[in-house]
Amino acid sequence: MAPLTMRDAEASLGGRKVLDGADVQAGRGELVALVGPNGAGKSSLIRAFAGLLALDGGIARLSGDDVRALSPRQRAERVAYLPQERRIAWNLPAIEIAALGAPFLTGEQALARARVALDEVGAGHLADRGAAEMSGGERARVLLARALASPSPLLLADEPIAGLDPDAQRLVLERLRAKADAGGSVLVSLHDLTLAAAFADRVVVLDGGRVVAAGPPLEALSPEVLKTTFGLDGRWVETVDGPLLAARRAQ
Ligand SMILES: Nc1ncnc2c1ncn2[C@@H]1O[C@H](COP(=O)(O)OP(=O)(O)OP(=O)(O)O)[C@@H](O)[C@H]1O
């Protein structure tokens, strides 16, 4: 069974259904991109995998176990999680924030992992800088480093490239790709469909809490799905750098 597996997930928030029979999985070595319009349920699905949103039906499994059967500590050991919310309450230096991603290692080991993770996201120079003295994109990199500092091979990342400059967006996706290639399982929500197609093994398209398409990127993001789910008249253009989405709003 894939390390990240969700079947027939049902969940509600404020009396509204936010997951409606969702099936998603990410196997070993796989980077799966979760895409869909605003409000489609991407964050809800990721939160359900992390055990932070209770399912009314169906099941979410982390390495084979129902997430509900795991304690918060066990969940944190099994899966790294980057939430969409980028707030950092304490004005701690970046290195200490990133080290929080490996809370079950000794302080020294955690700091060593944190340093590597900061370098991986191009934020090594921020190691000693307080969170309150950073730009939004710099904070986003530090929080991503926190997720990458986790020794867990499973990673849930909710819009990890939001607010990052174009170079950093690709750098971050390369790091997530490398984590998957090293045998990890990565589920990442994205709004940039061209980047999703460039980096993901599979794309899962969510709309109204339902999976409306899933598969290799260009199959899942077919012209029909682009139109019905995203309201786009779109087509994929092959370039030397990979497929590029050419699109305009559907009339
Ligand atoms: N705390 C809440 N109470 C009630 N409804 C909520 C709450 N949080 C989210 N929702 C609703 O749940 C649905 C799914 O939201 P979710 O954040 O999972 O979507 P998303 O696909 O991540 O969206 P986005 O791309 O805008 O981040 C939306 O209709 C949203 O309005």
Q: For residue 88, which phi and psi values (nearest 5 degrees)? A: -125, 115
CA of 212: how far to CAs of 156, 158, 215, 219, in Å? Answer: 21, 19, 11, 12
Percent of the chain whose pLDDT exceeds 90? 94
CB of 16 shorter than 6 A to ligand 1: yes
Closest atom of ligand 1 relative to the 84 alpha carbon: 27
CATH number 3.40.50.300 is the correct assignment for the domain at 4-249 = yes
Average of pLDDT values for 164-178?
94
Categorize the per-residue pLDDT at 107 as very low, low, confident or very high, splitting at 50, 70 and 90.
Answer: confident
Contacts for 168 with CB less than 8 Å, ≥ 6 apart? 121, 122, 137, 141, 161
How many Cα atoms sit within 13 Å of 2 on the Cβ side?
Answer: 19
Taking 90 as the threshold, does the pLDDT of residue 206 lie above it?
Answer: yes
ipTM of the complex: 0.97
Alpha helices in the chain (DSSP H): 42-49, 72-78, 94-99, 107-120, 136-148, 166-181, 193-199, 217-220, 223-230
Residue to substitute in 43, 206, 229 for testing ligand 1 pocket (most ligand atoms within 8 angstroms of CB): 43
Give the dihedral sign, CA 113/118/124/129: negative
Confidence of residue 88 (pLDDT cuts 50, 70, 90): confident
Quick one: average pLDDT of 133-141? 93
What are the boundaries of each domain within the chain? 4-249
Compute the distance from residue 196 Cα to the ligand 1 centre, in Å. 21
Find the mean pLDDT for residues 196-202: 97
For 55-68, write each residue's pLDDT tens digit.
999 999 999 999 99
**41 Cβ closer than 6 Å to some ligand 1 atom:** yes
CA separation for the pair 110, 44 (Å, rounded): 29
Q: Say whether pLDDT at 104 is over 90.
A: no
38-42, 85-89, 203-207: least confidently modelled range:
85-89
